Amino acid sequence: MCGRFVSATPPDQIARYFDAVDDTAEAAAPNFNVAPTTDIFVVRSDGQVRRLEQLHWGLVPFWAKDPSIGNRMINARAEGIAEKNAYKRAFLKRRCIIPADGFYEWSVVPGQKKKQPMYIQRVDGEPLAFAGLWEVWRSKEQPDEQLRSCTIITGSPNDKIAAIHDRMPVILPPSAWDRWLDPTFADVDLLGELLVPAPSSLLTLHPVGFDVNNVRNNDAHLVDPVDPATPSEDAGTLPLGGIGP
């Protein structure tokens, strides 16, 4: 799963990296502890132009009675995504990229009660391109109001991530961006071929402090390497996770 990540790169730089128009309303502060149900950066395409926007993290299908279902749909499992009622329409027409500087995962450590948080990023420090889906939800009571939401697709881990967790976000290479973002491309078999683990050589990881467990902690020290044997005083609780039904 992917329940926490880092989004510290300014939106104008993200837009340039993904060759997108920056449609974000205002400059966002660096976020070293992005949590579910917040608004996050998303790259979408109308078939002609890529745009960087902010969407609610936690997919709310168009048929949902209320937005609360999004709280447990922050991740969508790649397996069977083209057939699942919650995702199949978005998989055909509403795919997106969710940029991230890195993400956190929690690893079981023999002899320790608490799981060890790990920070995972590209070896070259460039942004990650998570495969995502987005949707539009309208309230029956106020149909003119829209909620645009998204989810991160997860799949099997590569060898490096498998040592700490049994799933990881699907990370798209630049060669896949055009096909993935094209809303007119609807070959589910070819799209499914993109939902594979990123090469182990793409990523590096290291243990970080337990401060990341608490969403109130949010600054650059969260990604600093630490001695994995020593928890901090403000360890907090494990983060909110979530996978789609």
**pLDDT given at position 230:** 55
Q: What is the pLDDT of residue 1?
A: 72
Given a contact cutoff of 8 angstroms between Cβ atoms, the answer to whether 59 and 149 are in contact is yes
Which is catalytic among the residues 53, 105, 135, 150?
A: 105
The helix (H) or strand (E) run that includes residue 120 is strand 116-122
Strand 146-155 and strand 75-77: pairing? parallel
State pTM to two decimals: 0.91
Mean pLDDT, the chain, integer? 91
Write out the H or E segment, with its range, that includes residue 50: strand 50-57
- Range 62-93 burial, b when 16+ CB lie within 10 A, else e: eebeeeebbebbbbbbbeebeeeebbeebbbe
- CA neighbor of 174 nearest in space, from 129, 132, 125: 129
Reported as a single tens digit per residue, the pLDDT across 90-137 is 999 999 999 999 999 999 888 888 899 999 999 999 999 999 999 999
Which pLDDT score is estimated for 73? 95
| Euclidean distance between CA atoms 164 and 118, whole angstroms | 9
Note the pLDDT of residue 3: 93
Both structure tokens of 119: 């920070």
Domain ranges of the chain: 5-223
First to last CA, the chain: 13
Active-site choice (2, 53, 96, 150): 2
Report residues of the chain scoring pLDDT below 50.
Answer: 232-235, 237-245
Is 105 among the catalytic positions?
yes
* Whole-number Å distance between alpha carbons of 46 and 52: 12
Assigned CATH class of 5-223: alpha beta
Return the pLDDT at 243.
33
Contact at 8 Å (CB) between 195 and 173? no
Smallest Cα–Cα separation from 133: which of 94, 81, 75?
94
Element (H, E) at 41: strand 39-45
One-letter amino acid of 198: A
pLDDT of 165: 94
Give the distance from CA 30 to its chain's centroid: 16
CB under 8 Å to 227, separation ≥6 — which residues? 207
Return the structure tokens found at 154. 């997860």
Token pair for 71: 């709280």
Q: Are 158 and 197 in contact (CB under 8 A)?
A: yes
Residue type, 44: R
Reported as a single tens digit per residue, the pLDDT across 184-193 is: 999 999 999 9
Q: What is the per-residue pLDDT for 35?
A: 96
Active site residue 96: no
